[in-house]
A and B are shown apart, each in its own frame.
Chain A
Amino acid sequence: MDSLSSAAASSQAVQRQVRVQLTSKQEDIALPENTGPILVPTGLRRYALSTLVNNLLGSDKPIPFEFLINGTFLRTSIDEYLTANGISAETTLEVEYVRALIPPLHIASF
């Protein structure tokens, strides 16, 4: 048991985490005001973030979302975004979400 869980731990050891503050300007899909930052793995992409927001909203039928960080759409993993923009995972990321207009094709990729 112990060796199993440690093997699992070491395979995830490189996984960084970052705090994200999710916001939306559209009232009908906004989260409750007191939703604080959430710690997420930096490996997440649009689809996983979309799952997260739907979960927080408690939506019966998942709404596909797009995510904006500093005004640009997230097209990579959060980790790749941080590296490309020279941002450390030490700061809380402000992430805005909007309804996706065209559902992406590769919906299952994380």
Chain B
Amino acid sequence: AIHLSSTLPPLTPEIEARRLWSFYESATNDLSLSLTEQLRLILAPTLATKLRGDFRTGKRLNIKRIIPYIASQYKRDKIWMRRSIPSKRNYQIMLAVDDSKSMLESGSGQLAFETLALVAKSLSMLEAGDLCVLGFGSEEHVRVAHGFGKPFSSDAGSQVFQHFSYQQTGTNVRKLIADSIALFREARFKRSPGGGNADLWQLELIISDGICEDHETIRRLVRQAQEERIMIVFIIVDAVKGSSILDLTQASFEADPASGSGEMKLKMKRYLEGFPFPYYLVVRDVRELPAVLATALKQWFAEVVDVSS
């Protein structure tokens, strides 16, 4: 089972977390308004009403109901469709933030806090759906800093910040994806225990410096998530002083097939060439985020609407 926030001691004292939250919340206030506006535009068409059955009165006949209607001697008379009021909470969005030490070293920690405050605030103002916030690093499981189904207030913001310290000594992204899939399954089931939740869409935004290992396993898990209709967007916060992840090279020694004797050969490649997430963005400044994120989400929502209509 995955630990809920209540079972784990906070990583940052309450007073400090509250101070951090109010600082970053106000620092990103204008940006979150702008992101909310952009998302509202993206979301509006997806919230357009659809005609649905079955009612005794309505706008348009539901053709599928006519024969049973006649066959039932005009008793089964719910033959009309109406414009149903759209449910706004059709999205479950998970924000997963890297809490490992490398975030501080590269100066990404501040950018991650800004991003967290910005995105959480925007999504809550939008009431686009259900929001969950996770922290991940070297702990056995991800930390649920804010669970699905809870409203996101300023208080919730400070509580979330208590679960981050950027002191974890590992970056287990493989575990993050596996746990995320489990959490999404649970959230989907809670929404509709009987299954058949065709209108529910699940999105995970990962905020990290992007340095992680075991890319092959991660790639497989990302594919599995996709099969379960969980969309994952990886936001690389690239605040590295001096060197960017775009320039990072990766060295590895691989068996040389030409030699036959199992001799190892040095291979050099750009780190991002093998990056296991098909959807990723590189952000160097929090001010870029609203536009970049809006573009990514626009694509995602467009796909979602395409598939569901």
Binding site for B on A (CB under 8 A): 5-6, 8-10, 12-13, 15-17, 19, 36-41, 44, 48, 51-52, 55, 88-92, 110
Contacts and interface: CB of A to CB of B under 8 A. Distances in A.
B100 A36 contact: no
Given A5-B216, A48-B253, A90-B168, 11 more contacts: A6-B220, A17-B211, A19-B211, A36-B247, A37-B243, A37-B248, A44-B253, A52-B266, A88-B101, A90-B101, A91-B105
A52 B266 CA distance: 7
A51 B213 CA distance: 22
Interface string B27-45: 0000000000000000000
Contacts of B101: 88, 90-91
Given A38-B250, A39-B211, A110-B264, A90 B217 contact: no
Interface of B: 100-102, 105, 168-171, 211, 213-214, 216-217, 220, 242-243, 247-253, 264, 266, 268, 271
Between A17, A51, A92, A110, the greatest number of chain B beta carbons within 10 A of the residue's beta carbon is seen for A17
A10 B250 contact: no
A39 B243 CA distance: 13
A3 B266 CA distance: 25
Contacts of A89: 169-170
Secondary structure dominating the interface of B: mixed
Contacts of A41: 251-253
Contacts of B220: 6, 9
A9 B214 contact: yes
Contacts of A44: 253
Contacts, number: 73
Nearest to B269: A39
Interface centre among B100, B105, B213, B220 (most CB of A within 10 A): B213
Contacts of B169: 88-90
A90 B213 contact: no
Given A37-B243, A90-B101, A91-B102, A8 B216 contact: yes
A10 B105 CA distance: 29
B105 A52 contact: no
A44 B100 CA distance: 23
Contact of B100 (A17, A40, A48, A90): A90
A27 to B, nearest CB: 21
11 contacts: A5-B216, A6-B220, A9-B217, A15-B214, A37-B243, A39-B248, A39-B250, A41-B251, A88-B170, A90-B100, A90-B168
